[in-house]
Amino acid sequence: MDRFHLMSVFVAVAEEEGFAAAARRLRMSPPAVTRAISALEEHLGIKLLNRTTRFVRTTEAGQRYLDDARRILADVEAADEAAVGINATPHGDLSITAPVLFGRRFVLPGVVEYLQRFPDTRVSAMFLDRVVNLLEEGVDVGIRIGDLPDSSLRARQVGSVRVVVVASPEYLATHGTPRTLEALREHTLLTVASGGGPQTWRFEHNGDARPIRIRPRLTVTTNDAAVSATARGFGISRLLSYQAAPELASGALQRLLEEYEPAPKPVHIIHREGRVQSAKVRSFVDLMAEKLRADNRLNP
C-alpha cells in the first residue's frame, strides 16, 4: 500500500468534495478513488469522510488528518525539489489568495506573467474580502493588508497603503470641501459595511486618535461600488488608497483631510513554506514581490 498515494487521493476528494471530481483531477477512475479511500480508512481504523448522495465532507477526524496530510505531502514535494536543487523549474499547482479588488488590480497581472513564464504550473486564485487561514484551507501564498499577528507563516513586506477620505471634484464644487473632521457630518457620506446605522471612522492627528461617529446615507458591500459611487459625485467615502488609485491618479477623485490620516498599513506577501521552499512558491513570491515593490501606488 502506497501511503503517499492514498494521502494524495484523500486530499483530492476532501478538497473537491466529491469522488467523481477527485477522479477527474487525479486522472483516475472513480472506482479506483473509492477503493483508495476505503483502504486508507481501513488502515487507520477511522471514518475520514461523510458521504451522501449530494455531498462528501470530512469528519472531525478526517479534517485533522487532512491538515496533516497536506503538510506531509508539501514536505515531500519540497524535499524532492531540494534534492533537484534550487534551480529546479517550477511546476505543479499553486494556490494563492488576496483581497478582491487588490487581487484584480495588483495580483492578477503577476499571476498571468508567472503562468506565461512557467508553463508547467497551474494557479488557483482566491480573491476574497476575508482573512483566509492558509494552513486550514491549504493555500500556499497570500497577500495581507495590515499588521500581522504572530504566526508560523513567513512574511515579506512589499509596500504600504493608507486609509484616505476622497470625493469627486464635482461634488466638492457643489457642496464645498470639509476642512475639519466635524465638518464631515455636514456632508453626504457613503461607506463599505455589512449593515446600516451609525458607524465610526477612525482618524489620527498629532499622534492622538480621533474617532468620528458618522451616519452614512449610502452603505455598500463592495469596495469597487464605493469607488464608483464616489467618482460619480454622490458624496464622500473613506477607502484604502490602492482601491481608488486609478481615480486619484486621473483626478476623478481628490484626497481630503490628509493631516488626519492614520499611519500607513503594511502590505505583506505571506506563505506557509517551511525550512525548504518549493520552486513554485519561491518563484511566485520573488516575482510578485518585485512587481509590488516597484508599484508606486503601494507607497502613497
How far apart are alpha carbons 277 and 271 in whole angstroms? 10
Q: Which amino acid is at 277?
A: Q
Q: Do domains 3-83 and 88-161+265-298 have the same CATH topology?
A: no
Rounded Cα–Cα distance for residues 176 and 187 (Å): 9
pLDDT at 275: 47
Domain boundaries, given as residue ranges, for the chain = 3-83, 88-161+265-298, 163-260
Burial class (CB in 10 A: 0-12, 13-18, 19+), 221: exposed
Q: Residue 277: what pLDDT?
A: 62
Residue ranges of the chain with per-residue pLDDT less than 70: 1, 78, 81-87, 150-152, 194-198, 273-277, 300
Kindly report, residue by residue over 99-129, the tens digit of the pLDDT: 999 999 999 999 999 999 999 999 999 999 8
Cβ of 136: how many Cβ atoms within 10 Å?
Answer: 11
The pLDDT tens digits for 121-159 are 999 999 998 888 887 787 899 999 998 876 667 899 999
Handedness of CA 246, 251, 257, 260 (dihedral sign): positive
Edge-to-edge strand order for the sheet containing 236-240? 218-220, 189-192, 236-240, 163-167, 254-256
Per DSSP, the residues of 62-127 read HHHHHHHHHHHHHHHHHHHHHHH-TTPPP-EEEEEEE-HHHIIIIIHHHHHHHHHH-TTEEEEEEE
163-260: CATH, from 3.40.50.1970, 3.90.230.10, 3.40.190.10, 3.40.50.720: 3.40.190.10
Superfamily of domain 88-161+265-298: Periplasmic binding protein-like II (3.40.190.10)
Beta-carbon contacts of 286 under 8 Å, excluding residues fewer than 6 positions away, are none
Residue 164's pLDDT is 96
- The CATH number of 3-83 is 1.10.10.10
